[in-house]
Amino acid sequence: MSRTFVTIFPICENVHLTKDLGQIPYFLHKTFSYNARIVSYKNSQQYSNLDGEVKGLKMEFIPNRGRVSFLEKSVLSYIYKNAKHIDVLNLYIFSKFTFVYGILYKKLNPKGFLFLKLDGYNETFAEQSELRHSVHRMKNRFLKSLEKKFLKQVDLITIENSEGESLVKRKFPQVAHKVSYLPVGVNDVYLREAFPQRKLYNEKENIILTVGRVGEEIKNHDMMLRALARLDLKDWKLVFVGPVNPSFEQKYKAWIREYPHLESRILFTGEICDRKTLYAWYDRSKIFCMTSLKESFCHSIGEALYFGNYIIGTEGIVSMPDITNRGKYGTTLKTNDDAALAEALQNRIDNESSLAKLCPEIMHYSDTQFTWSGIIGRIHERIERRPTV
């Protein structure tokens, strides 16, 4: 009889299904025949990815009945009714919500497997940081007691970058044996069907690509424009893929009046909802650039890596050392160091032979380290051999 794997994430939207939140249950179902599903409120009008990239994954929508204190009533009710029939409960984020839901699940199903997936914001677990769950002293003391109880009962904790794994283990040495690095992969099964042959380097175009919400403050796209003004782009183009923030659009219009010679070198595609169309841009490009102030794993970088893109990113993206193989397949810059970004881009534009050599190596690195087919077995193995306390 197959195991039941349930991810509870009340705010799940269609876009989450192509990320780790959807890919983990999907690949456990596809590879190891788990009866997997995501439990959520209905937050998107359509969940089109259920008929696309994660076809076969189940979603169970629950009504939003509001909260009692800080807890979702419908989530509490769902766990009460279903805990005994859930072999593996998957929760996200190290928070007071998670503590209560996890403790409740283990109380109702002591033999169940509790799996917490953390985000990659390492400063949360830095040794000098104090983890507070409330600004009120007595509330925080109570919530810290819940944290302690949760950590005793959780069976597996994963985090998206290797530095984060070390930080969590040092922060909570009592559960170090339960903590594991779990990178975010790409859906290689879907990608092999959609792109049976990835473009060779000489088939690609001279494109520097960035993907995300264009102009959002945390994405720091101003840095990219400032660096661009320092470059000799030659016949290269910079392509922004994603919805454009209106304030950034106005800022860009003022900027391009100062640098009109660059207008033909910059393209804004707008939002691309069709996954194959989006992936085709990665397939066409040679360099992927991300200038975020703060980012965890960054799914778009993993997707760019799969198609052999050289990665240029900032220290704010904590997964850069893992994704670039400690700098072999990419360059990591200080945030807002415009000169360093311009230098890194110019160096690659002027030395294409190095990019051509690295492209197949980058694809191989992605295939062996960052595909869900290769990663998912790590979770299954840990479920198979539940860690001892």
pLDDT band at 119 (very low <50, low <70, confident <90, very high): confident
pLDDT in the model for residue 304: 98
170 neighbors 127 (Cβ within 8 angstroms): yes
Helix or strand or coil: residue 97?
helix
pTM (2 d.p.): 0.95
Is the pLDDT at 285 greater than 90? The verdict is: yes
- For the chain, domains (ranges, CATH) are 4-185+372-384 (3.40.50.2000), 188-369 (3.40.50.2000)
Element (H or E) spanning 100, and its range? helix 96-108
**How far is Cα 252 from Cα 380, in angstroms, rounded to an integer?**
48
Residue pair 272/241 in contact (Cβ under 8 Å)? The answer is yes
Radius of gyration of the CA atoms of the chain, in A: 22
- pLDDT tier, 124 (very low <50, low <70, confident <90, very high otherwise): confident
Whether pLDDT at 132 is above 80: yes
Both structure tokens of 332: 């990591």
* Secondary structure (3-state) at 268: strand
The pLDDT of residue 389 is above 50: no
Would you call 152 helix, strand, or coil by DSSP?
A: helix
Task: Answer yes or no: is pLDDT of 388 > 80.
Answer: no
| Separation between Cα atoms, residue 197 and residue 178, nearest integer Å | 39
Q: Which strands sit side by side in the sheet containing 88-92, from one edge to the other?
A: 58-61, 35-40, 4-8, 88-92, 113-117, 156-159, 179-181
The residue to which tokens 């069907």 are assigned: 193
- Residue matched to tokens 């970004």: 341
- State mean pLDDT over 375-386: 94
Pairing of strands 266-270, 237-241: parallel
- Closest listed residue to residue 268, CA positions, set 310, 224, 321, 298: 224
pLDDT at position 386: 75
pLDDT at 174 over 50: yes
The stretch 328-332 carries a mean pLDDT of 98
Q: What's phi and psi for 377, nearest 5 deg?
A: -60, -25
Residue 130 pLDDT class (50, 70, 90 cuts): confident
Contact yes or no for 200/308 (Cβ under 8 A): no
Q: What percent of the chain has pLDDT over 90?
A: 93
Residue 281 φ then ψ, to 5°: -65, -40
Lowest mean per-residue pLDDT among 21-35, 53-67, 94-108, 114-128: 114-128
pLDDT for position 120:
65
Per the prediction, the chain carries an average pLDDT of 95
